[in-house]
Structure 1
Amino acid sequence: MSLIEWDEKYSVGVAAVDHEHRELIGLVNEAHDRLMRPGGEEAVMDFLGEIFARITAHFALEEKIMRARNYDHYDAHKADHERLLDEIRDIMDDYEDGEFFSEEPFAQQLKTWFAEHFSTHDARLHRRLD
């Protein structure tokens, strides 16, 4: 079962951005599937690193598009990008430091991050770019 299902409401109407949204959802779903298997904790850092790298690149693309189109909510959208990246870095640091890690709460946190960001900031961006 997938953690996050693609929904057209996540589309911003820019092919490259929408493609990356789908890829990120696929990566999160793959990470979730592996983490739910026995011994999955060992895959955590690899997936967190991959998710972090891909999200960073994706956010850079979105921000470039927003700047090029003089998007009026650019500052708030960028701030949410920074917040999401900070949270992933914090989880990575905690995991490396041997802090307690539980797969299911982490999976739900990922789902919440994406769903909230897509349904608020990205939905607003979609309406503005239409």
Structure 2
Amino acid sequence: MEIIEWSESLSVGIVKVDEQHKMLIQMMDELDQAIRNNESADVVEDVLTNLFNYAQAHFAVEEELFRTHRYPEMALHELEHQRFIAKAFAFKERLSSKRPGLALELLNFLSSWVLNHIELTDKRYARFLHDCGVT
């Protein structure tokens, strides 16, 4: 799978969230470059740690919007975030095994999850938040 690229079709129409999604995609590209350039395990782990930390900060922003506007699917969406973090950190733990192809497997997981999450789950909350006046 190729790394996803930002396009307006991924926009949820909420400026802060779109900017964060762009940054997540950029950070996945940085991870892809580190893997393809055969950077050291420490470099890959640093990029990955930054990406995961940013993802958690992004999820916190979304979840605050949900609480503020009483998004009815908040619990389900938050559960998706928790599952993502758990799976991502499990991958990170396995990276120390240096199994060939694991870093690319992780990258494929990240790309697929982010793309599906934005297109399906995030766009659903975006409609609700737009009706609440959030832009």
**TM-score normalised by structure 2 residue count:** 0.85
CA RMSD, Structure 1 to Structure 2 (Å): 1.7
Q: Gaps (5+ residues) in structure 2?
A: 131-135
Task: Confirm or deny that 1:18 pairs with 2:36.
Answer: no
Instruction: Map 1:105-120 to 2 at 5 A.
Output: 105-120=105-120
Q: Return the alpha-carbon distance in structure 2 between the equivalents of residues 44 and 38 of structure 1.
A: 9
8 Å Cα contact 1:13/1:129 also seen in 2: no
Give the count of matched residue pairs. 128
> Partner letter of residue 118 of structure 1?
I
Return structure 1 stretches of 4+ with deviation > 6 angstroms: none
Task: Confirm or deny that 1:65 pairs with 2:65.
Answer: yes
Q: Gaps (5+ residues) in structure 1?
A: none
Q: CA deviation at 1:99?
A: 5.3
Q: Return the alpha-carbon distance in structure 2 between the equivalents of residues 101 and 67 of structure 1.
A: 42
8 Å Cα contact 1:95/1:101 also seen in 2: no
8 Å Cα contact 1:35/1:44 also seen in 2: yes
| 1:69-110 Cα shifts (integer Å, max 9, x gaps) | 1111111110000011001110111123x2525233222111
* SS in structure 2 of the partner of residue 51 of structure 1: helix
* SS in structure 1 of the partner of residue 13 of structure 2: coil
Q: CA deviation at 1:40?
A: 5.3
**TM-score normalised by structure 1 residue count:** 0.88
Q: Sequence identity, in percent?
A: 27
Q: In 2 relative to 1, CA 37–90 (structure 1 residues): closer, same or farther, beyond 3 Å?
A: same
Task: Confirm or deny that 1:100 pairs with 2:86.
Answer: no
